[in-house]
Amino acid sequence: MKSLAALAHDLASGSITSRALTETMLARIADPDGQGSRVFIHVDVDGALAMADAADAMRRAGNVLSPLHGVPVSIKDLFDVRGEVTRAGSSILRDAAPASADSEAVARLRRAGAVLIGRTNMSEFAFSGVGLNPHYGHPLAPYRRAAQTVSGGSSSGAAASVADGMAAVALGTDTGGSVRIPSAFCELTGFKPTARRVPSTGAFPLSTSLDSIGPIGLTVDCCAIVDRILAGPSSSSSSSSASAPAHADSPAGASGSGAAVPFGARPLAGRRLGVLRNYMFNDADSIVPPTFERALRELEAAGAELVDFTFDALDRLPDINRIGLSSMESYALHRPWLDRSSQYDPRVLLRIMKGEGVPASDYLDLLGERRRMIEAAARAFAPFDAVVCPTVPIAPPTVADLADDTAFFRLNPLILRNPSVINFIDGCALSLPCNRPGDAPVGLMVAGTGGTDAAILALGRRVEAALHHLRTVERLQ
- Return the closest-CA partner of residue 137 out of 114, 115, 160, 118: 160
Confidence at residue 243, expressed as pLDDT on a 0 to 100 scale? 34
Give buried/exposed letters for 240-258 (b at 16+ CB in 10 A, else e).
ebbbebebebbbbbbbeeb
Domains and CATH numbers, the chain: 4-472 (3.90.1300.10)
Instruction: From the candidates 90, 128, 155, 178, give the one annotated as an active-site residue.
Output: 178
Q: Which of 445, 467, 435, 431 is nearest to 214 (CA)?
A: 431
DSSP assignments along 280-335, one per residue: TTTT--SSHHHHHHHHHHHHHHTTPEEEEE--GGGGGHHHHTSS-HHHHHHHHHHG
pLDDT at 1: 84
8 Å CB contact between 345 and 133: yes
Q: Which residues contact 468 (CB under 8 A, 6 or more apart)?
A: 251, 259, 260, 262
Distance (Å, whole) CA 307 – CA 276: 9
The pLDDT of residue 151: 98
Q: List, in order, residues 6 or more apart from 457 with CB less than 8 Å away.
A: 191, 220, 223, 224, 227, 237, 241, 242, 430
Q: Of 313, 347, 350, 330, which is closest to residue 176 (Cα–Cα)?
A: 330
Annotate 196-208 with b (16+ C-beta within 10 A) or e (fewer).
ebbbbebbbbbbe
Select from 346, 395, 428 the least CA-distant residue to 152: 395
Whether this prediction's pTM lies above 0.75 is answered by yes
How many helices, marked H, and strands, marked E, lie in the chain? 16, 11
CA-to-CA distance for 338 and 106, rounded, in angstroms? Answer: 29
Which residues does the chain have with pLDDT short of 50? 236-261, 475-477
> Which secondary structure element, helix H or strand E, spans residue 118, and what is its range?
strand 115-120
Contact by Cβ (8 Å): 441, 185: yes
Q: Which of 76, 90, 161, 330 is catalytic?
A: 76
User: Which position among 3, 74, 151, 154 bears the catalytic label?
Assistant: 154
Concerning whether 154 is annotated as a catalytic residue, the answer is yes
The predicted pLDDT at position 235 comes to 62
